[in-house]
Structures are given as structure tokens and as C-alpha cells.
Structure 1
Amino acid sequence: MTQGDLVISADFGTSGVKVGVVDSNLTVLARVTESYPLVLKTGGIAEQSPEDWWGALAHALASLRQELPDLSKRTAALVFSSQLCGVICADANGTPLRPCLTWLDKRAAPLGKKLTGGFPEVHGYNLPRLLKWLRLANGAPAKNGMDPTAKMLWVMQQEPEIYAKTRWMVDVKDWLVHRATGEMTTSPESANLSWVMDSRTGREGWSDSLCALTGIDRSKLAPIVQADSIVGPLTAQAAAELGLDASVKVLGGTSDVMASALGSGEVADGALHISVATSAWIAGFFPNRRLSVAHSYATITSGLNYRPLLIASQENAGSALDWVCQLTGNGAKDTRFADIGTPQDDDPFFLPWLAGERVPVDNSNLRGTFHGLSLHHDKNALRRAAIDGVALNLRWAMSKVVREKGAQTTGPVSIVGGVASDPVFAQTLADALNRDIRVCSARHAGMLGTATLAAPLMGWANNVCDAAATLKSRTSATYAPNSSRVAQLAVRADHLAKIRRFAIRSYT
């Protein structure tokens, strides 16, 4: 047990941070969202300032203290989750030396291909190196350069003056924990996705062999800690900036993927859930390591005693829907798909690959398109096509993932994320998958899942998964497949498969 009865949970996404105050019933007493900028430039650049994240957190807590005046003295723990696959170069004091290369940054794609390719090749990977990665890490760096591996090499080669001053190369959540405690750590998820971690059972940790294979300096990598471990109390400076007591304990924290898994309540082996926000992913825990080289997904070691967590990530979901809505004249975000008319058999088709794709085809060069446009198509037809395109893109990925032994193939599919709360999208996904859809605490599942990490510390549950399992009962809406729409989308899926094959050949 610990002093105080509340937990502050902060879920750092691509566009902003969701911060909530959670009690022993995993009820959110107050919450606020603060945004921060994402700098996008030609050449695949997608950067953020780490200090913007910290400033957004401080501003959010100031707002929450207005709602809960006794927040400071009642808070016992602070827990973070965040976007994955960022690279922050920090000096010995933890000061960022350049903006963060976020997960969306693709400037290192040529390095990614050079690192992974070379004769003899299988699926674009050099066979001897691939076999070593698969044996030790249960995966390999993405060819599109979006994983930390290629980004670290890019800094080393393109910004040698920055690299020379760099003491730590860490992910988003890692820097936030350091900013709060003064201790530099990393999560098993971030470590695994750097592809220089040995993820074999009983041997989990940084691998000298994989560091030598990639050229990454192990001394610049932070110690790996579990998600529910106590890293330390707040530093005096952090406590003052956040308006909290210095006794508040900061936990190791986790990735947005595991936070969503916990927040969905789907913690049984083989239980899959879908997160649909800026990007999308299908994820779920499994009893052992899984891997699909052909379709670019695998399990990674989670921060819960290295329990394998399958992640099948797609680059385009809410971002593609936002783009189409901006293109066709935006509107209130919660109602922009409310009056788009009845789907038509001759609606255009949409490939949502505006930022390349990862699963089930890893190709950063893929690009989105509308296909089958006619003069009579209006903005509503384009919006209907966008909804269908994102849902059918997920259907494409799901068709591969459900082949895994032990994956649950019947029953409702839980969905989380900002897009999940849109009823038109949720119904379309139910029809596309021909499965019931259960909408969880859509916009705040990650924040709630993050809070469950503190449950054992707070005495709320015996372990994190027990706490998370209680969230499965929190359903905000359910959607059953509509038989006629299921049939219509099956036909559209067949057409899209043909368009997709042509597009993939064109960009390969």
C-alpha cells in the first residue's frame, strides 16, 4: 500500500496527451486532453519537441487541480504510456539534443532497406541477418525505416555532432519518466522494437550480438524495467512543475499498444482487440512468441514479465479519414460522417495508404488513391469510400492475424481509440469483419489501461491483468453485423483486393 488514494494516468499520443485522475474503482474522476504540435516536412520528416509533451502534462495537471483542489495531496502514483518507435537523443542530464524522430518519421527508409537487405534475400531481407534477428528478437527492423534501429543509424551518420554528444537514445515514454524522476529507463516494448534486444524466454535483455549486427552502441541504451515497477519518486523540480508532492511514485510505464490492450479488458491469451486512432493496430496477448515475416507482424515482449503481445500495425486510419474530411470540407469531428447518405454499389474505392503501409505489406512507398470515380460522385461518396477503405484495410490485416494458433475467431471484437467512438465507422467495421463490435471506453481506454499498472502498488488488485480484466465489462456501445451490408462489403473487398495487388506491384 502507499499514501494517497488516487493515480494520475497520462497517455501520450501523436497529437496530444490524455490525462486522467483514477480512483480505486478505475473510475475517471476528472480528465483533460492537451494537444501539442507535430512538425511534418518533405522527405518523410515527422518531429516533436519533448519539452512540448512535458509542458502539455503540466498544463493538464493545472486544469485538473481546478476540478480537484486536493489532487496534490491525494495523488500517490503517476503513470505514463506513450506512442512507440520514437528516438530522442539526450545528453547525460537527459536534455534533448534535437527534436524527437517520431514513429511517423520515414527519413531513414533508405538506411532501413540497406540494413535489412542484401543477397541472398527473402521477402526483401538478407537471409543470414534475418535468421539471426528472428532467432534472438522474434522479428527484424521494418524496411520502411520507421523502427528506432534505422533512425538511430540516421542520427549517427547524418548528424554526427549530435550523436557525439548523445548519452542516451530513448523512446518517448522513457524520456518522460526521466524528466519526472531523473532516472533513465526503457520498456521491454521499446527495447524489442529497437531490434537489438534478445526476447527469448529467460534471456530477455540487450543483445551484444544484435548491437554488433546493426552498429548500435549498447552503452547509449537505457536499462529495461517492467511496466509496474517503481522507478522513483518525483524530483523536486518535476514536483514543482507538475504541482504534485515529491513523494509521488512514478512507475516504469508502457507503450500505447499495451495500454490499449489493458484498457480494452482483453487480457486473455488469443483475445484480440483493435485500436483505431491516427493509426490502427490489431493486438492481443499470446502464451508464446509469434511471427509472420510475410505479413510484417509479430509478438513483442511486453512490460508484464515479458509476456508476448502481438502487434499488427497499420499506418493509416484516423489520419486518412481526417485527410478526406479536410479535402471534402471539414465539419464537427463527431458528426462529419453522420449524414453521408446510404452506401451505393458504385461508390468509389479508397486505399488509405497515405503514409505507406506496414501490415500485412511493409512498404513505405505505397500511396493512397481513390479508384472508380465518376462525375456523379460527391463529397459524401468520397467520405463513404474512406470509411469503407479504412475498415476493409483492417479486414485485410485481420484475415492474416486470425490464422495464428489460439487466436479467438468468434465472438465480439473490442475496439478502442478516437475513431472507435464514431458510430458509422464502428458499424462499418462490424459489417466488414462480420463480427459483433464492442466499443470500450473508446477515447480513454489507453489512459485507463495505463492506470491499471498502479493497481498492485495501490492495493486495488493482486496484479495488473486482474485489474484490467474488470474493464471488459465497460462497454459504451455494441454493433451487430447487418447481413445485407456484410454481403455488399464482401463484394467491395474482392474488388479492392484486385486494386490493391495492382497498386502494390506499381510501388514495388
Structure 2
Amino acid sequence: MPANDISAERRHEAPIGKVIVTERDLVISADFGTSGVKIGIVDHSLKLISRATATYPLSLAKGGIAEQAPDDWWAALARGLSDLRHEIPNLMERTGALVMSTQLCGVICADETGHALRPCLTWLDKRAAPIGRALTGGFPEVHGYQIFKLARWLRIANGAPAKNGMDPTAKFLWIAQNEPEIYARTRWFLDVKDWLVHRATGRFTTSAESANLSWLMDTRPGREGWSQTLANVVGIPLEKMPEIVDAAEIVGTLTPQAAAELGLRADVPVLGGASDVTAAALGSGEVSDGALHISAATSAWIAGFMPSRLLSVAHSYATITSALNYRPLLIASQENAGSALEWGVRISGGRVDGEALAHAFADMGPPEIDDPYFLPWLAGERVPVDNDALRGVFHGLALHHDDRAIRRATLEGVALNLRWSYSKVCKEKPVKTDGPIGMVGGVSANPAFAQTIADALNREVRVGGSRHAGVLGAATLAAPVMGWAETPWKAAEVLRANTNAHYVPNPARVADLDRRATHLAKIRKHILRSY
């Protein structure tokens, strides 16, 4: 049956507002991160009825190399689904759609059959940094960018390739310059999700956010698509770039081979899918224009859908073109969140496995008036100051400070660093600064952290799916196909109502953090000048 007929049939079987349990009443949603995949089985109420995880290796080497084998992602998906079939024996018969969200800014060189010619250069890969600087640098410059190059990219793409070479643009050129035989055999440059969708369906596609962050896409309203002008600037033929499709579009159905490998039926529709940032935004439930959410995991970001493109060159944030309806999604990323919290616990003699991390912060004692200050730039920073040379700082350490003081400073430092970014983003006119702010990501499940964010921002914090926001957000893309909601946006509003915890600002602690944030700003200014 053609894909469009399947979609129409399901909408008829399960009308909006009336749930009719049919033979196919479940969605498989898979969220591929840097270290593994989280797979969720989601029902009509957008709740997880079962979940599994499967890991895969990340190969790190000197020179900024960070690679993964694409086949490992697929094998992990197959393992996870095998585990889930033990819990849901009739999963094959009940699966109505497969949707995937993934890490961004990977580069897979694929031949005409989709076979990966070399390992994927993941988003962490920094080997192309010299190429990134050459691509964007020159005189006259502003913030490290040659001013005329920057103006052209900003006008067309609302941003420009990162100077650190981590965006796909510089990686394309690294392949061309250092592995010319691979480049010559490359028919398609694919992101992580693109390769997985092809492996599932046999069709080569990409999403708008992957295209946007290749910096070869025109993101101006009404002109969205690949830009020949930018392709000429970089020197990459657009013939190597796949078709851009909407995240909620049915790309195709599983091929017989893919179905056999995953243990599913071959007529299961596969959607275009989205990146982790779009999926997390949907999973947060904050989908009205200007509504923000915070994602706090290893790193952190403040994000929200906006009515139009936004850009701050001075503070290094902008909207990207999301995978759904080309809707602008503001992203203000910070490098250090959960990673800094784990580091703070480790150096103070604590454990970070399992629930130990949360316990470490639950037992850190009340704040003291002379607690040290902490700048959590352990791996550089991006927003609101883009400098990967920055490093972390404790200020005001004394002989009497113990392990609990170190942990308090670390937790507060991460929260006040987010407040610093939040204060810049909130100056944008469309941004809403009233009402609860949603928070997702593994760190948001830590009560001490969530309460500190509420106090630091003086704003109620609403924690929803926490660790599973990506899985649930991706599942909203399948809601129209399944007849669960008219649009993914409507489905995401259901997730907003599924709140697990609320954290209300403590007035006394708000005043204390205001005072400490003011003093920290003075310290920060002097530290930044030292770089």
C-alpha cells in the first residue's frame, strides 16, 4: 500500500479525540546519542510503555579524531528491539511507525548504494579546525570571521561555519584534501539520521537542521533549500547532498532486509525524523513562539521555537531551521553541565555511577556565605562567549573548604553559567520570560540541580520526561500518521501537561544567588581578559 494511503487510513481508523486501539497502536521511537541509542515504545497517550538502551563505541585519537562506525548504530538498534520483543511479544504486529532522532553534524561518506566508505566523523571530531579557520577567516575580521564572508553567510544561512572545524562544512573539505580517493567515490554526504533512514528505507534524504548546519542551505523564509551560492563558496557540489524532507513526512517503508534485521514488518512507515535538538524541543512541550526550555545533560542548551530567524554574533547564538515545517529554533549551547557536575563530585572523592551523583548533591549541606565561586569552563565555552581555550576556575578557596563546599560551588557555578546565557537570550523580543520554564535531559532529574536553576533564574522550573525527552519528542512526529493528534505541535502540548515535578523559587535563595551572580560577573570579566 502506498505510504500516503497508509497515513490516510490510520487517520480514518483513529480520529482525533477518539482513541480506537487498532492492530497497530504503537510507535517505535529511537534517539541516537554519542554513546548509545535509547529506544522507546510509545502508545497513543504519548507515554513510554517500554524502553531499552544499547551502546556503541566512540573511537577517539590524537589530533581531534572522534569517529564511529555507522553499522554499529544499526546493530545497536537491532539489539534494543530484540530486547523489547521479549517484553512485548507482539511488537511486530503492533508497530505502526518508526521514527528516529540523532546527534547532529556527523559526516558519512556513502557510495551510490549507501555503503559507508569510511567511519563517520562525529560532531566531536575537531581534526578539521585549521580548515575551519581558513574557510571563515581573513582581513578585515570581526569575532574571528572575515567580514565579507560572514555577511554573505549571515544573509543566506543566518549563521556561519564554526571556526573550530566541528561543523560538517570543514569536514567535507578535510575529506577532499586528505582522502581524495574517498571523496571521489562519495556519492552522498550524509548526517547520522540520514544514513539510518536510508538503511531503513533505501531512500536518501536529510532534514532541514542537518542541511542548515552544513552551511550550504538557504534558510530565508520562502527560499528554504540548498544554496548554489554557498556551495560555490565552499567548493562542494550540491549533487552530493540529499533531498531535504520534513521530519513528519513518511519517507518510505522498511525494506525487506531492514525489516528482517529489526524484526519488524516490511510495511512499517519510516518518518523523515529529526535531530536531537528538535526532538528535545518537542519533548519539552514548549512549542509556542518564544517559549524556552533548558536541556541539561553532558552539555546544556537553552532553546525555543521563534516566529522568525534570530542571530547574535556577539553572543554566539542563533536560530537554526528546525526539521519540522522549517520553523526557526533558537539554540544557545554551553559546553559544560553534567560533565562539570560529575567532575566536581569525582575530585571531591564521590562516586558518579547510578544514583550516586544525585545523592552527592543531596548531601552537600546548605550554602555558606563564603562558599567559593566556580566558572565551569572545563572544555571551553560557546555561549555567550565562544572560546574553546577557556578553562574552569575556582575563586575564593580557603583552607576550611571541604568536599561539600566544592560540590556546592560546582552546582551553583553550572547554574549561574546557564543564567549568564539566559540573561542574553531573554533580551530577544520574542522570548517569553514569564511562567514556568521546561527542563529536560538527564541532569534535570537531579532535584538539587533543578531547584538551583529555579532559584538562579527566579522562575518556576517544570521537569517532564527528563531523560526521555528525545524519544518522546521524536514520537510526536508520528502522531498524525497514527491518528493521535492533528499535528506534532498538538502532540507536543500533551507532553507539556505530563509534568513529573515543579520547582518553585525560594525567595531567600533567589536573593542570595542574585548577590553572588553580581560578584561572579566581576570575577568573570577579569578572567576573560586573561585570555
TM-score band w.r.t. shorter chain: over 0.9
2:34 aligns with 14
1:371 aligns with 395
1:162–1:352 distance in 2 versus 1, CA, 3 Å: farther
C-alpha separation between the residues in 1 aligned to 2:367 and 2:179? 51
Stretch of structure 1 that moved more, 191-200 or 374-383: 374-383
2:100 is paired with a residue of what secondary structure? Answer: strand
The structural deviation recorded for 1:332 is 4.0
Query: Does 1:361 pair with 2:378?
Result: no
Query: Does 1:228 pair with 2:248?
Result: yes
1:299 aligns with 319
Note if contact 2:342-2:352 (Cα within 8 Å) is conserved in structure 1: no
1:327 aligns with 347
Q: Which amino acid aligns with 2:227?
A: S
The structural deviation recorded for 1:109 is 2.2
The structural deviation recorded for 1:453 is 0.3
Query: Does 1:471 pair with 2:495?
Result: yes
* Larger Rg over CA atoms: 2
Within 5 Å, give how 1:104-503 maps onto structure 2. Answer: 104-328=124-348, 329-334=350-355, 335-503=359-527
1:68 aligns with 88
C-alpha separation between the residues in 1 aligned to 2:35 and 2:398? 35
The structural deviation recorded for 1:280 is 0.9
1:337 is paired with a residue of what secondary structure? Answer: helix
Q: Which amino acid aligns with 1:430?
A: A
1:345–1:35 distance in 2 versus 1, CA, 3 Å: farther
2:243 is paired with a residue of what secondary structure? Answer: coil
1:497–1:151 distance in 2 versus 1, CA, 3 Å: farther
Note if contact 1:143-1:363 (Cα within 8 Å) is conserved in structure 2: no
Deviation string, structure 1 residues 11-69 (Cα, Å, up to 9, x no partner): 11222211111111112111112222233334333322222221211111011111100
Within 5 Å, give how 1:74-93 maps onto structure 2. Answer: 74-93=94-113
Q: Which amino acid aligns with 1:141?
A: P
C-alpha separation between the residues in 2 aligned to 1:92 and 1:367? 44
Note if contact 1:18-1:34 (Cα within 8 Å) is conserved in structure 2: yes
1:103 aligns with 123
1:269 is paired with a residue of what secondary structure? Answer: coil
Aligned residues: 507
Note if contact 2:307-2:430 (Cα within 8 Å) is conserved in structure 1: no
Deviation string, structure 1 residues 327-355 (Cα, Å, up to 9, x no partner): 33324432232212222232222222222
Q: Which structure 1 residue ranges, 5 or more long, are not aligned?
A: none
2:74 aligns with 54
C-alpha separation between the residues in 2 aligned to 1:371 and 1:113? 33
Q: Which amino acid aligns with 1:218?
A: L
Deviation string, structure 1 residues 374-401 (Cα, Å, up to 9, x no partner): 3332322222222112111111111111
1:336 is paired with a residue of what secondary structure? Answer: helix
Stretch of structure 1 that moved more, 327-336 or 117-126: 327-336
C-alpha separation between the residues in 2 aligned to 1:348 and 1:154? 43
1:478–1:377 distance in 2 versus 1, CA, 3 Å: same
C-alpha separation between the residues in 1 aligned to 2:389 and 2:93? 51
2:139 is paired with a residue of what secondary structure? Answer: coil
